[in-house]
A = this chain, B = another copy of it.
Amino acid sequence: MRTSPSLLSLTIDSAVLNLSNIADLSPLPDHIVIDLFLRTLRAGKLTEKVLKLFIDTGKDEVFSLIQALNIQVTLTPVLPTTIKDDEVDIVIGALRSDLTTFMNEWRPMFSRFHLIIVKDPDLKEELKIPEGFNLDVYGKPDMDQVVGSSTSILFSGYSCRYFGYLVSRKKYIISVDDDCLPAQDPKGFLVDAVAQHISNLTNPATPFFFNTLYDPYAEGADFVRGYPFSLRGGVKCALSCGLWLNLADHDAPTQALKARQRNSRYVDAVMTVPARSLVPISGINIAFEREAVGPALVPALKLAGEGKCRWETMEDIWSGLCVKVVCDHLGLGVKTGLPYIWRTDRGDPIASLKKEWEGVKLMEEVIPFFQSVRLPREATTVEECIVEVANSVKERLGSMDPVFARAAKAMLDWVKLWQSVGSSSSRSSAV
**A residues whose Cβ falls under 8 Å from a Cβ of B:** 1-2, 5-6, 10, 13-14, 17, 30-31, 34-35, 38, 41-42, 59-61, 64-65, 67-69, 186, 209-210, 212-214, 218, 220-231, 241, 243, 248-251, 254, 258, 261-269, 271, 273-282, 310-311, 314, 317, 320, 336-337, 359-360, 363-364, 366-367
Could you write out 29 A-B pairs with CB less than 8 Å apart?
Answer: A1-B17, A2-B5, A2-B10, A6-B42, A34-B34, A60-B64, A60-B68, A61-B67, A209-B278, A209-B279, A212-B243, A212-B279, A213-B263, A220-B261, A220-B263, A221-B265, A222-B254, A223-B254, A224-B248, A224-B250, A225-B250, A225-B282, A225-B311, A225-B359, A226-B280, A226-B359, A227-B251, A267-B267, A273-B274
Do B363 and A248 have beta carbons less than 8 Å apart?
Answer: no
Q: A-B pairs with the 10 shortest C-beta distances?
A: A226-B280, A274-B277, A226-B317, A64-B64, A210-B279, A225-B251, A61-B68, A267-B269, A30-B68, A228-B367
Contacts of A317 in B (CB 8 A): 225-226
A60 touches B67 (CB 8 A): yes
Cα separation A212 to B243 with both chains bound (whole Å): 8
Taken together as a complex, chains A and B put the C-alpha atoms of A36 and B261 apart, in Å, by 32
Given known A31-B38, A69-B30, A336-B212, contact A229–B2 (CB-CB < 8 A):
no
- The answer to whether B65 and A227 touch across the interface, beta carbons within 8 angstroms, is no
**A266→B268 contact, CB < 8 A:** yes
A275 to B258 Cα, complex, angstroms: 29
A269 contact set on B, CB distance < 8 A = 265, 267, 269
In the bound complex, how far is the Cα of B366 from the Cα of A61, in angstroms?
Answer: 46
CA distance A31 to B275 in the complex (A): 49
Contacts of A67 in B (CB 8 A): 60-61
- Kindly provide the distance from the CB of A30 to the nearest chain B CB, expressed in whole angstroms: 5
Residues of B within 8 A of A209 (CB): 277-280, 367
- Chain B residues within an 8 Å CB radius of A267: 214, 267-269
- When distances are taken between beta carbons in the complex, the residues of chain B under 8 Å from A218 are 265
Which residues on the B side are within 8 Å of A337 (C-beta)?
212
A64 to chain B, nearest CB (A): 4
- Indicate if the CB atoms of B227 and A280 lie closer than 8 Å: yes
